[in-house]
Amino acid sequence: MERILNTPRLTLRPFDRTDARSVQKLAGAWSVASMLARVPYPYENGMAEDWIGTHEPLRESGTSFTYAITHCGHLIGCVGIERDDGGDFEIGYWLGHPFWGKGYATEAAQAVKDAAVNALNLTRMVSGHFVENPISGRVLTKLGFRYTHEAPNECLARGHKVMAKRMEWTA
């Protein structure tokens, strides 16, 4: 997949180590971390650097493509696509709380979805959201995802499983 994706308002680019402090602050906020499966809480020093360090090897292996979402040169969130244990590609995203409600998640996720379809010849993708986060579901339905089932999903920040709505997109 392309390393840099541009939308009308956003630039999606690889993370670098200078983004670590912003990642820790934005993703580490309870309002964000508690709605994600794999973000720890508290988000301690060094965790963001470690996470960013995994991106390039995973990109090179073709299993994960993670992008920093930037607006006017500032990091506002993350979007990516990653092969899951079942072999499907799953799209996911987060935005820092100050950037919610502006359509950035939909814009960024659409760009990654389109790039993945073109570069990886995908005809199916999966995703999901915690039941108490219906706004994330609206983002995914705008991208053409449809609900398939509900199932418990691990939430690292909460330390236990949380009921999630699973979704899929097919060409």
* Each residue's pLDDT tens digit, 24-51: 999 999 999 999 999 999 999 999 999 9
Contact 80, 58 (CB under 8 A): no
Q: What pLDDT does residue 85 have?
A: 87
Q: What DSSP element (H or E) covers 155?
A: strand 146-155
Three-point CA angle 20, 38, 81, nearest 5°: 80
Residues of the chain where predicted confidence (pLDDT) is lower than 50: none
Q: What pLDDT does residue 152 have?
A: 98
| pTM for the full predicted model | 0.97
List of domains in the chain: 5-122 (3.40.630.30)
Total residues found in the chain within this entry? 171
Contact 137, 129 (CB under 8 A): yes
Q: What pLDDT does residue 37 have?
A: 96
Instruction: Determine whether 144 is exposed, middle or buried from the number of CB atoms within 10 Å of its CB (0-12, 13-18, 19+).
Output: middle
Query: What separation in angstroms does the CA of 15 have from each of 22, 79, 114, 169?
Result: 11, 11, 20, 26
Q: How is residue 18 annotated by DSSP?
A: G
- The residues, any chain, with a CB within 8 Å of residue 18's CB and separated by 6 or more, are none
